[in-house]
């Protein structure tokens, strides 16, 4: 079955319907046989496609931003591989969880949702992800949930990077209300 180029290789049921009933039923048969996986309603992918290190986030979760462990992994801040994709969404948004890949949603207030968003090219996909400084602040903010060892690893790796921006880091820390904790970390590390 050929993929739709506009959807970055994903198969869309709407495209199959436009090609005719036989194409649409062939798509459904492929999904029933297990050759295609339903990513979300009307969007299908091959197993090989999902085995890649990245997904087309905008197709799977429109408006989502990679955060926490996923962002730390992309920026090289942590050696831990995430067990699922961590995706930030605006608080109050309703979304259906796809069957595959595993995704954990984090709902962020509208005021802080777009803080530190950048677009990166990962495995041929344009993906929105929180930048280095926002990712470090998130590690400090959720240090009790992720563990002090992971938080410390993220901060240490950030401080060893030549492209760090401590002014921007402190600005984000003020907005995310973690500045006092971050100052304590920086006093110890620097």
Least confident among 21-25, 34-38, 110-114 = 34-38
Same domain, 61 and 46: no
Q: Find the domain containing 135 and state its range.
A: 57-189
Same domain, 64 and 10: no
* Per-residue model confidence as pLDDT tens digits over 56-109: 788 788 899 999 999 999 999 998 888 889 999 999 888 877 767 788 999 999
Same domain, 10 and 94: no
* Per-residue model confidence as pLDDT tens digits over 150-178: 999 999 999 999 999 999 999 999 999 99
pLDDT recorded at residue 7: 46
Does the pLDDT of residue 123 top 90, yes or no? no
Distances in Å between the Cα of 5 and the Cα atoms of 24, 30, 49, 184 are: 17, 19, 13, 49
Higher pLDDT, 122 or 116: 116
Q: Tell me the CB-side half-sphere exposure of residue 77, using CA atoms within 13 A.
A: 31
> What are the beta bridge partners of residue 37?
45
Same domain, 34 and 68: no
How many domains are contained in the chain?
A: 2
Same domain, 70 and 163: yes
Give percent of the chain above pLDDT 90: 51
Nearest alpha-carbon partner for 158 in 130, 180, 177: 130
25-31: Cβ within 8 A, 24+ apart:
26/1, 27/1, 30/1
Same domain, 131 and 166: yes
Same domain, 130 and 171: yes
Sequence-distant (6+) residues with CB within 8 A of 63 are: 89, 90, 93
């Amino acid at each position: 079955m050929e993929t739709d180029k506009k959807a970055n290789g994903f198969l869309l049921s709407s495209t199959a319907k436009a090609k005719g009933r036989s194409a649409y039923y062939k798509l459904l048969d492929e999904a029933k046989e297990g050759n295609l996986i339903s990513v979300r309603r009307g969007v299908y992918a091959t197993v090989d496609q999902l085995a890649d290190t990245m997904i087309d986030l905008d197709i799977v979760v429109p408006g989502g931003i990679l955060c926490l462990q996923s962002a730390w992994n992309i920026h090289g801040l942590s050696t831990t591989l995430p067990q699922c994709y961590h995706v930030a969404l605006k608080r109050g948004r309703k979304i259906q969880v796809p069957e595959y890949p595993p995704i954990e949603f984090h709902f962020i207030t509208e005021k802080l949702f777009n803080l530190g968003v950048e677009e990166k090219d990962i495995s041929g996909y344009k993906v929105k992800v929180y930048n280095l400084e926002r990712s470090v602040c998130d590690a400090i903010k959720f240090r009790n949930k992720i563990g002090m060892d992971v938080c410390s690893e993220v901060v240490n790796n950030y401080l060893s990077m030549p492209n760090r921006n401590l002014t921007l880091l402190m600005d984000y820390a003020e907005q995310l209300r973690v500045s006092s904790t971050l100052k304590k970390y920086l006093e110890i590390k620097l």
